């Protein structure tokens, strides 16, 4: 039995190389531990020789209808694909909950970047305009690479549940000392409140909830740190990481707004991302 469900990693690695830069469903593990362990070991090629050399594959685990899915992406060579976002925001149609026609409202909702059925990455938003009741509206459509379709009503429900969870934690926050003057001060206070509300909150979910609360920069940095360390990271670790990053940014004298600019020996100007500040910098042409 075990032999039948054991994933064939050399074949998965070959499929991922063929689809370079795109996420491929590697395997579905019946137990969450198995999936999480594989997702941590694949990027390091740890006891996973099929993924040698370390650093050529990325992996993440996500909930799947049949267990825990592991998704793999081959990223060797340039250009490096964009990192996975901590969350996605779509404009969806809200038609209310009653049976009769209530008209349409466009609502922006922030939800998980993973398909709720299989954990595959959700598609990118494509805006479309449509007329209704003599007005024009713009909503988003998207196509998930896995083939599962997200219905607006389900996405709305998912977004509302996440927003409610964040709002509840924010309510508990008021009497807590949060240092709003520090960068990430509000994000760190929210993480501490969330952690009290939900034990064993992972950094992955923390990043999603930070994004739902509008702390986009904090969310991206936590997700980036979580991915690059590929170890277990909790909400508490995430909060500590943000405190450290805020301090590093406040004291950094190496860079100019997150960029280190210098003139190379061939007199070409070079601009690098400051590794201490880790700001998102758009590559200059």
Structure tokens given for 244:
């450290």
Exactly one of 104, 173, 252, 281 binds Zn ion (CB under 5 A); that residue is: 252
Residue 53: asked if its preceding bond is cis (omega within 30°), the reply is yes
117 is an interface residue for Zn ion by CB under 5 A: yes
Smallest distance from Zn ion to CB 7, Å: 18
Asked whether 38 and 67 are in contact (CB, 8 A), the reply is: no
Stretch that binds Zn ion, among 156-164, 214-222, 228-236, 250-258 (CB under 5 A): 250-258
The distance of closest approach from Cβ of residue 144 to Zn ion in the complex, given in angstroms and rounded to an integer, is 5
Quick one: which of 26, 146, 187, 194 contacts Zn ion (CB under 5 A)? Answer: 146
Does residue 277 bind Zn ion (CB under 5 A)? Answer: yes
Which one of residues 62, 118, 187, 218 is an interface residue with Zn ion (CB under 5 A)? 118
**Considering the complex, what minimum distance in angstroms separates the CB of residue 52 from Zn ion?**
29
Residue 276 C-beta: closest distance to Zn ion, Å = 5
Only one of the segments 11-19, 210-218, 254-262, 264-272 lies at the binding site for Zn ion (rule: CB under 5 A); that segment is 254-262
For the chain, helix (H) and strand (E) counts, in that order, are 8, 9
Contact 39, 61 (CB under 8 A): yes
Nearer to Zn ion, 63 or 148 (CB): 148
Residue 191, CA atoms < 13 Å, CB-side half-sphere: 28
276 near Zn ion, rule: CB under 5 A: yes
The answer to the question of residue 113 lying near Zn ion (CB under 5 A) is no
The dihedral built from the CA positions of residue 168, 119, 158 and 85, taken in this order, carries a sign that is positive
Work out the end-to-end distance of the chain between its first and last CA atoms, rounded to an integer number of angstroms.
Answer: 54
d(CA 214, CA 67): 30
Non-local CB neighbours of 192 within 8 Å, separated by 6+ positions: 176, 239
Residues 170-209 that bind Zn ion (CB under 5 A): none
Separation of alpha carbons 39 and 33, rounded Å = 10
Give the nearer residue to Zn ion in terms of CB position, either 51 or 60.
60
Strand 105-111, strand 126-132: pairing: unpaired
**Least distance between Zn ion and beta carbon 284 (Å):** 17
Of 5 and 250, the one with the shorter C-beta distance to Zn ion is: 250
Residues that bind Zn ion (CB under 5 A): 115, 117-118, 120, 146, 148, 252, 254-255, 274, 276-277
């Amino acid at each position: 039995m075990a032999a039948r469900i054991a994933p064939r990693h050399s074949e998965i690695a070959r499929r991922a190389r063929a689809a370079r830069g795109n996420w491929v469903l590697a395997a579905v593990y019946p137990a969450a531990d198995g999936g999480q362990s594989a997702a941590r070991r694949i990027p390091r090629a740890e006891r996973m020789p099929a993924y040698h050399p370390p650093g050529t594959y990325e992996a993440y685990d996500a909930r799947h209808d049949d267990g825990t899915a592991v998704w793999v992406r081959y990223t060797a060579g340039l250009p490096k694909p964009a990192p996975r976002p901590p969350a996605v925001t779509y404009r969806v149609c809200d038609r209310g909950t009653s049976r009769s026609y209530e008209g349409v409202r466009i609502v922006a909702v922030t939800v998980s970047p993973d398909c709720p059925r299989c954990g595959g990455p959700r598609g990118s938003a494509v805006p479309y305009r449509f007329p209704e009741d003599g007005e024009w509206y713009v909503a988003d459509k998207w196509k998930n690479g896995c083939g599962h379709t997200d219905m607006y009503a389900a996405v709305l429900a998912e977004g509302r549940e996440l927003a409610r969870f964040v709002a509840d934690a924010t309510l508990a926050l008021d009497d807590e000392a949060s240092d709003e003057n520090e960068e990430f001060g509000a994000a760190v206070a929210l993480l501490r409140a969330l952690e009290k509300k939900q034990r064993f909150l992972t950094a992955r979910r923390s990043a999603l909830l930070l994004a739902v609360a509008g702390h986009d920069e904090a969310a991206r940095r936590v997700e980036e740190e979580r991915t690059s360390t590929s170890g277990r990271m909790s909400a508490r670790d995430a909060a500590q990481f943000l405190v450290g990053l805020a301090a590093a940014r406040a004291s950094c004298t190496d860079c100019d707004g997150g960029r280190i600019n210098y003139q190379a020996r061939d007199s070409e100007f070079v601009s690098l991302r400051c590794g201490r500040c880790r700001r998102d910098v758009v590559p200059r042409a």
